[in-house]
A and B are shown apart, each in its own frame.
Chain A
Amino acid sequence: MIVLETSKLTKKFGGLTAVNEVSMTLYQGDVMGLIGPNGAGKTTFINAIAGLNPPTSGRVKMMGQDTTGLTPEKMCRLGLSRTFQIPSPFPKMTAIESVITATIFGNKTGKVKNPVEHSRKMLDFVEFPMEETVVAEQLNTVQLKRLDLARALASNPKLLFMDELASGLSEGELNDIMRIIAKISKKGISILMIEHIMQLIMAVCNRLLCIQFGTKIAEGTTEEVANDPKVTKAYLG
């Protein structure tokens, strides 16, 4: 089953074309890696899908429904969640409150019977290392990324975007994140993740999409794309 499909998605900022006619398909159960050099337009691409920066032209289809240009809150209700490259918490809220917020507003009314219980489960699921009553502005980057992930999962998404979840992590933390990503995937959530760390990509992704200068240069299984000469050239010049 196709979860997400874009056709000729384009995003222009004035005269600059940040994403140029990218078409891709994401299937149920995929863990797809979105790779490309810095400034290739990866984040712009997922922002265009998720609604933070609506696309200039092209179509987005999610679960068979045309969702081009819908607002982020509508996309969230339809089952799309995301984490941010720079972890984006509610600074004055406690960890549990942030997740409760996403639980209450991200799900259809009445779907989650006990938001507090649900939020605790989410924090446990991402192995949040701190007390649930800690205020978000006191957390470090690693902890914030976990919290951001819990917040994103709280709305029970069918599709999850992760923007450089693993950047800046140590070896041990990387293993933890891999295990958590595998757990998310096992729940039946399809994943599209922007990532630079090849070790992580090779371990968890089954398919890859590579973008350079806003244009798609490769899409396919991890093996195919990683061995594609165009991809190697894009990275090594």
Chain B
Amino acid sequence: MSSTITSRQMNPFDKILDKLCLTPAGFCGLALLFVLPFIPPFNQEYMLRWLIYCGLIAAMSVGFDLTAGYISIVNFGYAAVSGFGGYSSALLVINMGLSPWIAMIAGGMTAGFIGLIIGMISLRLRGIFAACLSWFFGLAIMGLTIKLVWLTRGQLGLRTPRLFETDSNVPFYFLIITLLFFIYLACKWIVRSKMGLAFQAIGQNMDAARTSGINPVYYRVMNFTISCAIAGVLGGFYAHFYGILTPDMMHTSKTVEILAVAYIGGRGSLWGGAVIAFPFIFLMEIVRSTLSNLPGLNLVIYALVLILVMIYYPGGFSYFYDTNIRKPKNKALRYFFNGRA
């Protein structure tokens, strides 16, 4: 926010970074993500698949944080909405012969429409009640997907064509990282704009926001629509990357996975979840593959980490970063962590 208030003289590089909503540290992180698939041991295909999953969860947590972190409503149906986008996209490709690329965007639009509906019917509800409503909505979508066997093949799973006709995972990896970055950028621009101010206001204090002239209906529905549209596009990516869709991807435990990453990363930061997702989900995948005789252990670990973070560090990683790492004495380091803005 401070960048909109004070504008100082900046050199072109800093200006571009500011427009891209990155600090020099963030820029390096992004560059690292782009070279990661060429560095051993990450160049192995199975590790790359894990990294793609990390990127997917990272991107999801950014979209999730737009609702949870800014208007303070936890959308428990997030994975279901994403799955709805994925199924729409897959069905459009299978039944109408659309290109997976266009179908992915169409999936985003249908999921955005679902977001519009959730936003509208949860308007009169606050906090936990709106969260419950979105959860039930998600369960209903999942139930429908299981039961409409003639359309979705239910638990048997729906085979979908992939985005790239190749066995290599590298193009998918680059695609998800690009998607992640653009989703982050879009959310960040929204948050920096007038609309973002309204989101924060209605999330922090509804009564004061309304008496300040903010129409909560419009901004809340807008927020849900954008956030769910993001989930839908990512659902489309999921569909056309794994090549098979099952109703399991809509399960609440998937939402909890996204929620855990977003909260551990830091609510209301957008970047926190995106950064934390990579080490965290990657470690979880290692745990899951090494302890494969203990299924569900990773969920227990999610819960534990989440509880610990909520108790001892409710601000999450982004808060830790802002208070402890962002303000070093050294000038060059400070530039590295903060940029000029």
A189 at the interface (CB under 8 A from B): no
Instruction: Find the residue from B205, B211, B212, B268 having the highest chain A CB count within 10 A.
Output: B211
- Bound state CA distance, A127 and B210, in angstroms? 25
Q: Do A101 and B210 form a contact, CB below 8 Å, given A73-B215, A92-B268, A116-B5? A: no
Q: Are A104 and B268 in contact (CB under 8 A)?
A: no
Q: B303 interface residue, CB < 8 Å from A?
A: no
Interchain CB contact under 8 A, A100 and B197: yes
- Assess whether A93 is in contact with B200, with CB atoms less than 8 Å apart: yes
In the complex, are the beta carbons of A88 and B208 less than 8 A apart? yes
Whether B213 pairs with A88 at a CB distance below 8 angstroms is no
Question: Shortest CB–CB separation between residue A51 and chain B, in angstroms?
Answer: 8
Task: Find residues 203-246 in chain B having any chain A CB closer than 8 Å to their own CB.
Answer: 204-205, 207-216
> Could you tell me the distance in whole angstroms from the C-beta of A90 to the nearest C-beta in chain B?
4
B207 touches A76 (CB 8 A): no
Kindly identify which residue among A71, A90, A133, A151 contacts B210, using a CB–CB cutoff of 8 Å. Answer: A71
B194, CB-defined interface residue at 8 Å: yes
Binding-face segment, A77-85, A215-223, A229-237 = A77-85
Which residue from chain A places its CB closest to the CB of B202 in the assembled complex? A90
Q: Is the CB of B213 within 8 A of A106?
A: yes
Taking the closest CB of chain B, its distance from the CB of A156, in whole angstroms, is 11
**Which residues of chain A (26-78) have a CB below 8 Å from chain B?**
50-52, 71-73, 75-77
Q: Tell me the chain B residues, 253-285 only, with Cβ under 8 Å from chain A.
A: 268
In B105-132, which residues have CB < 8 Å from any A CB?
A: none
Expressed in whole angstroms, the Cα–Cα distance for A154 and B208 within the complex equals: 13
**Does any Cβ of A come within 8 Å of B139's Cβ?**
no
Q: Min CB distance, A201 to chain B, in Å?
A: 24
Please, which residue of chain B has its CB at the minimum distance from the CB of A50? B211
Q: Does A168 lie at the interface of the complex (its beta carbon under 8 Å from any beta carbon of B)?
A: no
Q: Which residues of A contact B212 (CB under 8 A)?
A: 73, 76, 101-102, 105-106, 151, 154-155
Contacts A90-B204, A96-B5; A105 near B268 (Cβ below 8 A): no
The chain B residue with its CB closest to the CB of A77 is B213
Residues of A within 8 A of B215 (CB): 71, 73
| CB contact under 8 A between A84 and B210, given known A96-B5, A101-B201, A116-B5 | no
Which listed residue, A82, A90, A152, A155, touches B205 by the CB 8 Å rule?
A: A90
Contact A82 B211 (CB under 8 A): yes
Rounded to whole angstroms, the CA-CA distance of A148 and B214 in the bound complex is: 16
| Pick from B1, B205, B211, B214: contact of A89, CB under 8 Å | B205
Decide: A97 and B207 in contact? CB cutoff 8 A: no
> Least Cβ distance of B6 to chain A in Å?
9
A188, CB-defined interface residue at 8 Å? no
State in angstroms the CA–CA spacing of A101 and B200 once bound together: 10
Q: Taking the complex as formed, is B141 at the interface, i.e. its CB lies under 8 A from any CB of chain A?
A: no
- The reply on A91 being an interface residue by CB < 8 A is yes
- Please report which residues of chain B, range 167-208, place their CB below 8 angstroms from some CB of chain A when the two chains form the complex: 194, 197-198, 200-201, 204-205, 207-208
Whether A151 pairs with B208 at a CB distance below 8 angstroms is yes
* Total A-B Cβ pairs within 8 A: 82
| Closest B residue by C-beta to A96 | B5
Residues of chain B within 8 A of A77, CB atoms compared? 213
Knowing A96-B5, A105-B198 are in contact, say whether A73-B213 is a contact too (CB < 8 A): yes
Q: Which among B5, B200, B204, B210 is the interface contact of A72 at CB below 8 angstroms?
A: B210
Cα–Cα distance between A101 and B2 once the two chains are bound (Å): 14
Shortest Cβ distance from residue B70 to the other chain A in the assembled complex, whole angstroms = 10
- For the complex, give the distance between the alpha carbons of A76 and B5 in Å: 25
> What mask results when residues 102 to 137 of chain A are scored 1 for a CB within 8 Å of chain B, else 0?
101111000000001000000000000000010000
- Bound complex: CA of A155 vs CA of B204, how far in Å? 19
A138 to chain B, nearest CB (A): 14
User: What residues of chain A lie closer than 8 Å to B194, measured between beta carbons?
Assistant: 104
Nearest opposing residue in chain B for A76, CB measure = B213
From A94, which residue of chain B is reached at the shortest CB distance? B1
> Complex Cα distance A89/B2, Å?
19
Which chain A positions have C-beta within 8 A of B205?
88-91
In the complex formed, the residue of B with least CB distance to A81 is B211
Question: How far apart sit A84 and B82, CA to CA, in the bound complex (Å)?
Answer: 40
Q: Which of A52, A77, A90, A94 has the most chain B CB within a 10 Å cutoff? A: A90
Residues of chain B within 8 A (CB-CB) of A101 are: 197-198, 200-201, 209, 212, 214
The distance from the CB of B223 to the nearest CB of chain A, in whole angstroms, is: 15
Query: Which chain B residues numbered 264 to 317 have a C-beta less than 8 Å away from chain A?
Result: 268
Neighbouring A residues of B1 by C-beta, 8 Å: 93-94, 97
Which residues of chain B are within 8 angstroms of A96 by Cβ–Cβ distance?
5
CB closest residue in chain A, given B194: A104
A105 x B207 contact (CB < 8 A)? no
A88, A94, A155: residue with the most chain B Cβ atoms closer than 10 Å: A88
Q: Which 8 A-B pairs have the closest CB atoms?
A: A76-B213, A106-B213, A102-B212, A72-B210, A105-B213, A90-B204, A88-B208, A105-B214
Seed contacts A72-B207, A92-B268, A106-B212; 5 additional CB < 8 Å A-B pairs: A88-B207, A90-B208, A91-B205, A101-B212, A151-B212
B: which residues have CB within 8 A of A?
A: 1-2, 5, 194, 197-198, 200-201, 204-205, 207-216, 268
Interface on A for B, CB 8 Å cutoff? 50-52, 71-73, 75-77, 81-82, 84, 88-94, 96-97, 100-102, 104-107, 116, 133, 148, 151-152, 154-155
